Amino acid sequence: MQNTPSLIEKVSRAPKAELHVHIEGTLEPELIFKLAQRNNVPLAWPTVDDLRLAYQFTSLQSFLDIYYAGTSVLQTEDDFYEMTSAYLDNACQNGVIHAEIFFDPQSHTSRGIGFDVFIPGMIRALENAREKGISTQLIMCFLRHLPESDALKTFADSREWFSRHPEWLTGVGLDSSENGNPPEKFARVFARAKAAGLRRVAHAGEEGPVEYIWQALQLLDSERIDHGVRSLDDPDLIAHLSDTQMPLTVCPLSNVKLRVFDTMADHNLRELLQAGVNVTINSDDPAYFGGHVNANYESVIDALQLTESECYTLLENSLMSAFVDTPTREQMVARLNDFWQKTH
């Protein structure tokens, strides 16, 4: 059996991509309280410790209730800059060389905070991170619990910003409460995004049924499935995912924290890998679920006793599944190979 501690250390230092992280979900309690005080935003929790104690979730919705309360402290361009910078500092420490970051504009525009506030703040942080050797992209997510009309308006309002910053704003996604909000509800806005040349991803098969994964693939023309752990419920879907190498951006700590799996030992990540599915590991909402991307790798390596070969596959999958051009992808994989061969 492999020496798990040394394998965990090797993986933690390895070059990797993170493809499923919500920037609003990186807000640590300390920063939430700092921004709340700075912006005179009242919170329901008297102390940082009380807020941390509230992170006992029984479902996706119980998490989202606290998540949206946390976003209320974000008021100014500097707030978004500070939040994004804090995540990117952590990402660099976790060996991330490329990050594709989700953001939820409707969480902010509904509070009167416009694109002209959050986009410049986030991009300023991305530009600074480039100097540290990490490449980044932003993926704008639609909140699926809101009406289609709201998503269509959000997309229309965003077009100027996508045109102005194509190097940073590269795609659209779908997140928030899955049950009762099927992907088909957003087929028209995703069709408009595709016509505009944007990349497309969608949350599906986390709490929702396997049918939602099929809808995301067939009706949204999604190029990655975020989560997708319900795929094993349908052998035909597993065969399709394996044949097409459609990426799944799996978030292990999130899955356990939100009770998708009772324990990490119950997670089906290894089964997905053994079925030939293109699985990647990501942090989702690291401030709420117990750690950044390396903590997710560590947890599954330890609980599932992953082999060195399986760990390499997960790391390579993350780089191969990124929305980058072929030369950039080849360069990133070469960095991983060089590190992997030289590190024991």
* Residues forming the active site: 206
Q: Does 165 belong to an annotated binding site?
A: no
The answer on whether 175 is annotated among ligand-binding residues is: no
What is the spatial distance between Cα 85 and Cα 124, in angstroms, rounded to a whole number?
9
What is the full DSSP assignment across 25-62? GG--HHHHHHHHHHHT---S-SSHHHHHHT---SSHHH
Residue reference for tokens 């052998």: 235
22 known member of a binding site: yes
User: What DSSP element (H or E) covers 333?
Assistant: helix 326-342
Inter-helix orientation angle 210-218/235-244, to 10°: 40
Q: Which helix (H) or strand (E) holds 75?
A: none
Asked whether 213 and 230 are in contact (CB, 8 A), the reply is yes
Cα–Cα distance for residue pair 49/332, rounded to 1 Å: 40
- Which one-letter amino acid corresponds to residue 186? F
Q: Answer yes or no: is 284 a known binding residue.
A: yes
Tokens, residue 112: 């009167």
How far apart are the C-alpha atoms of 120 and 44, rounded to whole Å? 29
145 is in an annotated binding site: no
Structural tokens at position 132:
């540290």
Residue type, 297: Y
Binding residues: 20, 22, 203, 284-285
Binding residues for substrate: 285
